[in-house]
Amino acid sequence: MAQAAQLVPGVTTVTPHARYFAIHGMVMAEAQARGLDKDATTDLLRRTEVAAAAVSFVHHGGHDSPTGRAHGTDSLAQRLRGGTLVMEEASAVGGYARNSWGFSGAYLGSEVTLGVLDQTRGPGETYDDVAVRGGIGRLLDLAREDELTLSDLAQDTGLCICAGPGRPDGRWLARLLCGKDERIAEDEATLSRRETIRLLARIVDTHDIRNLTEQVTDILAFGVFLSTDTVAAASPVAHRWRGVTLRNHAVSAWRRLWAWLVDQVVDVTHIDDVVAALLAELPAGTVGAWLSELPSTTGPDGAPAPAEVSLYDGYGAPAADLRVLCANAARVSELTGEIRKVFAGSPDHELTPAWLAANLDAQRSHSLHAFADRLVRQLLARSERVALMKTRRKADGTLWFPGRVRSLDGGWLYKTGAEGRGRVSLRLAQLGNVLVGSGVFADVGGRITVTALGRDLLV
C-alpha cells in the first residue's frame, strides 16, 4: 500500500470520480470569494454534491454512470425516485452523507497532493477557477435552489459525473494528473504519477484491456512485456510496479488464510482446534516435499510465470493459499535489482516474502504439519500484538481494541467479528476511473483506450 501510494500520488482507493476534484475546488473558491464561515461552507458543499448526484441520477436513468455511482446516491435513492429533492432535507447531515463535509474528506488528501486545495481546504495553487466554472459552474446555481425537480435536470446532463471529458474542468484535471500544468510542481510525486500513467497508456495501447485491475496487474506482474516492449522497458517505474504486483499476491493470500483461520473460531474455541482445522486441509510429508510439487515461478524466457494465478482457488481454500505463499516466496531467490527490493522485504519482518522464504528453507526437512502448527500460533500471537499496538482509549474512557480474535487463559479464543479477505487495492481501478473521467482514457464499448488528449499530454 505504501509503494502504491508513492506510485499513484493524488489518487486513493476512495477517490473514484474525477469531477469531485473540480466540485470541491469550486466550492472552496466560492466560499472564499463570498467570505463564508465554516457552517455556510459545509452547507454549500453538501448542496453541491447533492445536485451532482441528482443530475447524474437523471442522466443515467437511475443507473450507475460508466465510472460508477455518484456519491450519496444510495442514501438519496428514495427521494430521487420520488422525482423531487428538498435541498434542505437532502443535504442535511445524515441526509445523503453522515459527515458535515460530505464526501470531501475522502478526496482531501489527494486534492492537497495535486494542489487543488491547500492545507486549510482553501483553493490551492493549481486550482483553475475559470476552467472549472466553465465546466460545472451551474452546479452552484442548482445548489442554491430550495427544491430540485428531477424532470427539469435533463438539460443539465453536462454536469453529470461522467461528463468531464472534453469539458474545461476535465481538461484542467487531465493536465494536472499528467503533470502538464505549469502550476504543478515537477516533484517526485508528479513524476511518479506521470510515469505510471504513461506505462498504463502503453499497456492499454498494446493490449485489449477491459479490466484495469485484473488484466493490467497480470501484465505488470508476469511475462516479458516489461522487458521486450521498448516503452515499458524504458519506464522508470516499471520494475517497482512488478515488485508491487507480485508482492500483492502474497498479501492477498495472507489475508485469505488469516480470514479462514478466524472463521474457525466459533463461540469459544481452543487454539489447538484452529490448528487442527488447518492441518486437516494439508497432506502429510515434509516441507521440502510440499515445495517440490509447486509449479515453476519462471517461464522458459526467465520472466515471472503466473504460478500464483494458477494456484489460486478462491476463499475457503487454505491449502491453496499456503501454496500461493510458498510459490511467491520462491521468487526471493529469483528476482534481482529494484524488483526484488520492492518485492522481497526484510527477512526480519514477519510475513514478508523474504521472511517466509527463510523459514521454509530452514524447515525444509521438517514435517509440513509441524510447520503449519507453528505458523498458526505465530499468526494468532502476531494478531494480538498488532491489535495491542493499535489500541486506543475512547472519549468515554473505554478501550478500543481492533483485533478480531481475543485470547483467554489456557489457549482459548473468541472472536468479535469476521476478518477482511479481499485483495488489497493498488489504486489502479481508481486511477483508471479518474483518467476516464478526465478524458485521458476512454471506455469504448467496454475497451479502455487512450484519447487524443491523453496522447498529447503523455508525450
Cβ atoms < 10 Å from Cβ of 221:
22
Q: Do residues 320 and 426 make contact, with C-beta atoms less than 8 angstroms apart?
A: no
Rounded Cα–Cα distance for residues 424 and 281 (Å) = 25
- CA 217 to CA 230: how far, in whole Å? 19
Q: 137-152: string of b/e by CB count within 10 Å (b at 16+)?
A: bebbebbeeeebebee
Residue ranges, the chain, pLDDT below 50: none
Asked if 103 and 69 touch (Cβ cutoff 8 Å), the reply is no
Q: Spell out the domain ranges in the chain.
A: 19-163
Give the residue carrying C-alpha cell 427544491.
147
- What pLDDT, in 10s, does the model give residues 419-443? 888 888 899 999 999 999 999 999 9
Question: Which set of grid coordinates corresponds to residue 458?
Answer: 503523455
DSSP 128: -
- Check: CB of residue 269 under 8 Å from CB of residue 450: no
In angstroms, the Cα distances linking 340 to 46, 119, 231, 253, 332 are 46, 36, 21, 19, 7
β-sheet with 268-270: strand ranges across: 268-270, 412-415, 405-407
- How far apart CA 57 and CA 51 sit, in angstroms, is 10
438 Cβ neighbours under 8 A, 6+ residues apart:
18, 164, 165, 170, 171, 173, 174, 177
CA–CA dist 129, 443 (Å, integer): 28
